[in-house]
Every structure is written in C-alpha cells, then in structure tokens.
C-alpha cells in the first residue's frame, strides 16, 4: 500500500482554510510519505497562499518536488507519487493535480470533474514529453513514458525528471449552495467506479467517513487491482 493522504484545517490571518490531499506512490512509498508530511504544510507557509493561491500551489508543488529529490540520499531510488490537493479558502475552491488521481464535485445533482488525468498519450502531454527528449509508447496494456511510467506528471521519478514534471494543473470553482460534496481519490477507485455510482452512494450514506469507506469497499468488490484511497468532503453541513 503506497497511497497516503492528508487533511488540515487552520486559521490564517483570520480566514478559515481547509486542505485535503491524496498521494498515490509508485516504485516505493518514499515520495507519497514525503508529500503527506510536507506538501500541505509548505503550502500554508507560502507568503502568497491567501493573496494568490494559484501561484502558491504551483510554486509549492515544484519546490516540494525539488526538496524531495534532494532528501533522497540513495541515488538509485526512483520513488514517485501523484498529488491531488483541494484547498478551500473563503468561498473559493482550488484543486491542483499532478498525475492520475482525480477529483469530482457533486454539484446540483451532477458530477463535475475538477481535474484531468495526466496520461502520456494525452496529446498535449505527449508533445511536451517528446519535445523534452522523452518517448511515449504503448506496451500492449497502457501508454508509458520511456516504457516505464503510466503517467506523464509526478513527484519524484528521478530518472525521468527531465520530462515527468511536478507542475500542477489548477482548477478553481466558487463554493455556492449548489456545491454539495467533493470527492478526491486515487485511480484505484476511478478504474472501476463511475461518476454516477459516486453520486448515488454519497447521497445515500449518512456521514462522509462512512461514504469514503463505502466507496473504497465498492472499488475493492469490483476487483480494483490498485491501491485505493478516497476522501469525501461535505461542503454544507
């Protein structure tokens, strides 16, 4: 089990902030563990966290990736991790994603995607990788970077760092009365669970912890072959 997660609530300059993150490690758990211990803390310490959250997210992701690589003293370790974070500041929601974990909002009875998977065969990602000197190929099962990694962005992955970057895509949404729930999960859930299943299960379950547990159990019962981590956030309660 190489997944990790982190949840933080804080008061910063009189504002209530809530932060959630899921991290799906690969080639070892070192990167996911490092992100659990440092990423959200680093973000809250960023001088522009309240003034320019998007800038804070981007620079914090890149700096934390560099710090992680510097912290690994064993040169042959190739640990990597996705990072999917959701940050609530006042009435604004910011979702930053690196990798193929995924966030959706349940809004007005519909599932609204808040992240796009970073897959090597995504046209813009394939072009970026190849322009940087990398190669994208299909191994009969999935698309991979240099025949190794099945995602195009990640923390860590020292040997692929020239083109497997940790710069996040960031989406912003207004928190209004229509926004009911936020679901963040690693791909072990999304491989086998559809958005429609998410809506009906979450709405029918009493409590977010119970809903997250039921979602992980549903993915497991459908024979998901990957690690499964899920966070469910109720926006209005």
Phi/psi of residue 164, nearest 5 degrees: -100, 95
- Number of separate domains in the chain: 2
10/90 same-domain check: yes
Q: List, for residues 4-18, the tens digit of each pLDDT value.
A: 999 999 999 989 999
Q: Which of 25, 116, 179 is nearest to 5 (CA)?
A: 25
Can you tell me the distance from the alpha carbon of 49 to that of 35, in angstroms, rounded to the nearest whole number?
Answer: 18
Q: Is residue 103 within 8 Å of 84, Cβ to Cβ?
A: yes
| Packing angle of the helix pair 195-204, 208-221 (nearest 10 deg) | 140
Helix (H) or strand (E) holding 210: helix 208-221
**How far is it, in rounded angstroms, from Cα 190 to Cα 101?**
8
Q: Quick check: 170 pLDDT over 70?
A: yes
Over residues 134-152, the pLDDT tens digits come to 999 999 899 999 999 999 9
What is the per-residue pLDDT for 92? Answer: 94
Both 142 and 51 in one domain: the answer is: no
Same domain as 140, residue 207: no
What is the span of the domain harbouring residue 157?
3-118+153-234
Least confident of 28-32, 46-50, 69-73: 69-73
Is the pLDDT at 37 greater than 80? The verdict is yes
Q: Quote the pTM value.
A: 0.94
pLDDT score recorded for residue 155:
98
**Residues 41, 67: contact at Cβ < 8 Å?**
no
Instruction: Write the CB contacts of 200 (distance below 8 Å, at least 6 apart in sequence).
Output: none
Verify that 114 and 125 share a domain, yes or no. no
Q: Is the pLDDT of residue 220 over 70?
A: yes
Are 20 and 70 members of one domain? yes
CA distance linking residue 123 with residue 46, whole number of Å: 33
- Give 221 or 74, the one with higher predicted confidence: 221
The answer to whether the beta carbons of residues 138 and 8 sit under 8 Å apart is no
């Amino acid at each position: 089990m190489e997944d990790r997660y982190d949840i933080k609530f804080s008061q910063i300059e009189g504002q209530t902030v809530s932060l959630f993150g899921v991290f799906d490690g690969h080639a070892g758990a070192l990167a996911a563990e490092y992100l659990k211990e440092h990423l959200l803390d680093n973000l809250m310490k960023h001088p522009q966290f309240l003034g320019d959250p998007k800038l804070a997210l981007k620079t914090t992701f890149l700096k934390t990736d560099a710090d992680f690589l510097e912290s690994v003293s064993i040169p042959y370790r190739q640990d990597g991790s996705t990072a999917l974070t959701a940050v609530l500041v006042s009435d604004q929601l910011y979702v930053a994603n690196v990798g193929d974990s995924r966030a959706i909002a349940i809004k007005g009875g519909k599932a609204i995607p808040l992240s796009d998977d970073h897959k090597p065969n995504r046209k813009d990602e394939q072009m970026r990788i190849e322009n940087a000197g990398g190669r994208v190929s299909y191994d009969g099962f999935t698309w991979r970077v240099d025949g190794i990694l099945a995602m195009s962005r990640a923390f860590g992955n020292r040997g692929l760092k020239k083109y497997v970057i940790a710069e996040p895509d960031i989406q912003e949404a207004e928190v209004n009365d229509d926004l009911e729930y936020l679901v963040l999960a690693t791909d072990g859930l999304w491989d086998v669970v559809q958005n429609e299943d998410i809506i009906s299960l979450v709405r029918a379950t009493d409590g977010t912890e119970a809903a997250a547990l039921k979602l992980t159990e549903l993915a497991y019962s459908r024979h998901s072959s990957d690690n499964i981590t899920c966070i469910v956030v109720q926006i209005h309660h």
